[in-house]
């Protein structure tokens, strides 16, 4: 699969939570920041754009082969807003003058299980994530957040998915790849999941995505590693991979007048491609790497403090970091602070750019900045005001948080994909829609673009920086394009 330089992985926070499973049933709706003349949406709101696939064969969409992604809240010439999106297999008016644009050729053929996971009134989505184990997601935030968007959409636009409601089933993968495969199999074979979503943990995502590919099941996650995933036909990353974020990180450091940095990456095979990408991007930009370390994935505070001492000794004023937030907060940042060492911490999203990091890590993490597929909560009302309004309504009064925003954004783009597939749903049709549609723009993510040869769909990111006065991350720059 061709790799483009351009992550759900969903948030990994720092507090352990008890294991549990909770599912919610809902249907959905999407609302964009602006209105498009000439189209109507349920409730008087306008959905983000889905642009129709470009010309020719191979199922090409994504970054080439015709078509372009329109700004959030508008629709592409020759296509309609979600709710009336031209489905794959039909033709789209050619606004360039005369004729029609051929529909992309089918890439995926239906298998025996193609029609499993949905009925005329329900679609089942299976999600796995670590809510116990070495790097858990807070279960309460996850359990609430995974259903909010679908409940909102069902209430505000019950016909958006052709009358189908979405049921979310969830399993704790315990931060363990073998257990991830087990629970993914359970969600497909016992719960009837139509597609699977990886909520966090590159190793678990890789393991479960391989199971999904062997069985013809669509699998989506935020961008993580590329090695082990790039050749899986049914895997799709909705945001930039770690390797794709490497040039952004080097460019950001250079914009801040750094000429060199240290590099610390967790010692797991899933991060090897990112480790090499950081070094290659630095070399290409004539940027120095003065120290590098493949720290233990589950490094103890003592081990992390030793690495922090070595970082200080290297003289690095900036550290490129890809590790769990537990290692970052409880080990590296605190160990550095204890030695009066306060470098710029920077890395790819999502895990270290969560408010749980600032809640538990400030002031030691006050000099941190991380890329993320979604902005911080400080600007979300400008991009999608429905999120902060819907959250307390469907969360029993709970306040919106950044884990909920990650889930809302992911579910919102999945809803666009399901709707673009059309009423005649199937796993092959769904995946053909992904590679045959020029882009999906939910107004929060940078546009998501796939092709038949490239299933890494991220095209940009948001830059977040720690604000230890408020103990939250704030948006330093929105919609930073891939370089």
Segment (H or E) for 372: strand 368-372
Least confidently predicted of 41-55, 356-370, 377-391, 427-441: 41-55
Residue found under tokens 């073998």: 178
Whether the predicted pLDDT of 80 surpasses 90: no
Contacts of 303 (CB under 8 A, 6+ apart): 295, 296, 331
The domain locations on the chain are 1-240+375-459, 243-374+464-481
**CB 369, CB 318: distance < 8 Å:** no
* pLDDT tens figures, 153-181: 999 999 999 999 999 999 999 889 999 99
CATH topology of domain 243-374+464-481: Rossmann fold (3.40.50)
CA–CA separation, 444 and 461 (whole Å): 10
| Domains 1-240+375-459 and 243-374+464-481 belong to one CATH topology | yes
Residue 130 is predicted with a pLDDT of 84
Query: Using CB atoms within 10 A of its CB, is residue 228 exposed (0-12), middle (13-18) or buried (19+)?
Result: buried
* pLDDT tens figures, 16-35: 333 333 333 343 333 333 33
Q: Which CATH class is domain 1-240+375-459?
A: alpha beta
Q: DSSP labels for 402-467?
A: HHHHHHHHHHHHHHHHHHHH-SS--HHHHHHHHHHSSEE--SSSSPB--BTTB-B---EEEEEEEE
- Which pLDDT band, with edges at 50, 70 and 90, does 134 fall under? low
* pLDDT tens figures, 455-478: 999 999 999 999 999 999 999 999
């Amino acid at each position: 699969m061709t790799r483009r330089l351009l992550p759900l992985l969903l948030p990994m926070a720092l507090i352990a939570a008890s294991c549990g499973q909770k599912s919610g049933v809902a249907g959905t709706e999407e609302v964009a920041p602006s209105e498009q003349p000439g189209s109507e949406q349920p409730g008087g709101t306008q959905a983000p754009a889905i642009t129709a696939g470009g010309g020719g064969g191979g199922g090409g969409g994504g970054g080439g082969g015709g078509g372009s992604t329109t700004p959030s809240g508008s629709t592409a010439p020759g296509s309609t807003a979600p709710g009336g999106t031209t489905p794959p297999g039909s033709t789209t008016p050619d606004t360039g003058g005369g004729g029609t644009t051929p529909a992309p050729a089918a890439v995926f053929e239906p298998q025996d299980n193609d029609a499993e996971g949905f009925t005329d009134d329900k679609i089942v989505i299976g999600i796995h994530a670590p809510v116990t184990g070495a790097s858990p997601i807070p279960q309460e935030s996850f359990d609430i957040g995974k259903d909010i968007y679908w409940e909102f959409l069902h209430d505000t636009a019950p016909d958006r998915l052709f009358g189908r409601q979405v049921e979310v089933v969830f399993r704790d993968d315990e931060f363990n790849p073998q257990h991830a495969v087990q629970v993914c199999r359970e969600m497909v074979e016992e719960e009837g999941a139509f597609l699977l979503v990886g909520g966090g943990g590159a190793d678990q995502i890789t393991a479960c995505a391989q199971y999904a590919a062997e069985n013809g099941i669509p699998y989506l996650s935020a961008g993580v590693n590329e090695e082990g995933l790039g050749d899986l036909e049914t895997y799709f990353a909705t945001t930039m991979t770690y390797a794709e974020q490497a040039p952004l990180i080097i460019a950001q450091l250079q914009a801040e007048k750094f000429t060199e940095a240290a590099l610390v990456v967790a010692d797991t095979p899933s991060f090897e491609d990112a480790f090499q990408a950081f070094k290659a991007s630095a070399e290409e930009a004539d940027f120095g790497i003065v120290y590098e370390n493949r720290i233990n994935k589950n490094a103890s505070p003592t081990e992390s403090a030793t690495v922090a001492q070595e970082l200080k000794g290297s003289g690095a004023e900036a550290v490129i970091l890809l590790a769990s937030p537990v290692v970052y907060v409880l080990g590296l940042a605190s160990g550095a602070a204890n030695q009066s060492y306060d470098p710029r911490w920077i890395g790819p999203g999502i895990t270290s750019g969560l408010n749980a990091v600032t809640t538990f890590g400030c002031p030691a993490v006050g000099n941190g900045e991380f890329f993320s597929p979604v902005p911080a909560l400080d600007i979300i009302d400008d991009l999608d005001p429905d999120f902060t309004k819907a959250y307390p309504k469907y969360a029993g009064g709970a306040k919106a948080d950044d884990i909920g925003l990650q889930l809302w954004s992911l579910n919102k783009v999945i809803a666009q994909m399901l709707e673009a597939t059309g009423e005649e749903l199937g796993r092959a049709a769904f995946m053909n829609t992904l590679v045959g549609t020029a882009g999906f723009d939910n107004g929060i993510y940078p546009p998501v673009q796939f092709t038949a040869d490239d299933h890494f769909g991220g095209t940009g990111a948001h830059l977040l920086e720690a604000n230890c006065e408020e103990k939250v991350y704030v948006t330093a720059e929105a919609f930073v394009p891939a370089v």
